[in-house]
Structure 1
Amino acid sequence: MMQTPLLKVGMDALPVFCPNPQMPHWSSHPRVFIDVSHGEASCPYCGTRYALDHHATVTSDTTSV
């Protein structure tokens, strides 16, 4: 069985969504947002796996604008 690709994303790529901009247009599916705040998550449509870069951390912003 072929394993789906793992794409590491940094804080600058948040929020993560699939299909991502690098995917070919012909393989499009409805856009879904992927929650990578707990490490790794996969797209329910195509199975592409996304992981937060291990050098990046997710923090919660509690300040109001």
Structure 2
Amino acid sequence: MRRAEGINFNQNNHVVIQNDGTNGLPGPQMMKAVYDMARKGARDEIQAQMRDGGLFSGGGR
């Protein structure tokens, strides 16, 4: 397997947290929502890079 050089993945998420808890800690529902959002963003980026001309398209081999 060949190692891809120069791959740089940057993802920015804007999250507004309205915490209703009394202890100031995020609950499991909020943590799951943030995890799902980051996972979807990563999946979307990988799919975009698999298209023609993307880093994972296989055209540079």
Does TM, scored on the shorter chain, surpass 0.5?
Answer: no
TM-score band by shorter chain is under 0.3
TM-score using structure 2 length: 0.22
RCO higher in structure (CA 8 A, sep ≥6): 1
Name which one, 1 or 2, has greater alpha-carbon Rg. 2
Name the structure where helix makes up a greater proportion of residues.
2
Higher fraction of strand: 1
